[in-house]
Amino acid sequence: MTGIIAMDYFQYKFQTGQTGTQVAVIFSLYTVWVHPANPSLWLWLMCIVSSGSIVGAPFAAILTDKFGRRKAMFAGGVVVIVGVVIISSSSTVAQFVVGRFILGLGIAVMTVAAPAYAMEISPPQWRGRCTGSSCPRVVV
């Protein structure tokens, strides 16, 4: 994200600049932000992708158990693709944030389903290695 935020076109399109609240929301790094004009005013900015993952995790477990690991991973992949399409076609910061939230939902499903599926299909002597390397690490 650092390289994208530094691009002149990105700053022009989203009116973000290189610092500020909008950049913090896009980066999703800050969990608490103190308003510079009024330090007593706390704005709680949850990490957007993590928020999507937190919301999606309970449903991911239910989806995975009900429909199976492969179907859940397929559904999670579709949700990730939808999130990426929303992010890449966004023209406002709000649309960008919603896309990252949807991306987090898909990541939750993939994170729940992939290690269990890798453990199910791998031979006993390889289960630890396969399970450890199967967690998706999506950074968008």
Residue 139 lies in a domain: no
Contacts 24+ apart (CB under 8 A), 90-99: 91/13, 92/14, 93/14, 93/16, 93/22, 93/25, 93/26, 96/14, 96/26, 97/25, 97/26, 97/48
Q: What is the pLDDT of residues 24-65, one digit of tens each?
A: 666 654 444 445 555 443 343 346 667 788 888 888 989 998
Q: Are residues 22 and 55 in the same domain?
A: no
Residue 140 lies in a domain: no
Token pair 């289960």: residue? 127
Please, is 33 exposed, middle or buried when counting C-beta atoms within 10 Å of its C-beta (0-12, 13-18, 19+)? middle
Asked whether the beta carbons of 106 and 97 are under 8 A apart, the reply is no
Question: What pLDDT was estimated at residue 82?
Answer: 96
Q: What is the pLDDT of residues 86-103, one digit of tens each?
A: 988 988 877 877 888 898
Query: pTM here?
Result: 0.65
Q: Are residues 123 and 78 in the same domain?
A: yes
Cβ neighbours for 40, distance < 8 A, ≥ 6 positions apart: none
Q: Are residues 81 and 112 in the same domain?
A: yes
Q: Are residues 23 and 83 in the same domain?
A: no
Give the span between the Cα atoms of 24 and 70, in whole angstroms.
Answer: 35
Helix and strand totals (H; E) in the chain: 7, 2
Q: Classify the phi-psi angles of 68: left when phi > 0, otherwise alpha if psi is within -120 to 50, otherwise beta.
A: left
Q: Are residues 70 and 116 in the same domain?
A: yes
| Tally of structural domains, the chain | 2
Q: Are residues 40 and 52 in the same domain?
A: no
Q: Are residues 68 and 127 in the same domain?
A: yes
Q: Are residues 40 and 54 in the same domain?
A: no
Q: Are residues 29 and 77 in the same domain?
A: no
Q: Which domain holds residue 24?
A: 2-44
pLDDT greater at residue 26 or residue 12: 12
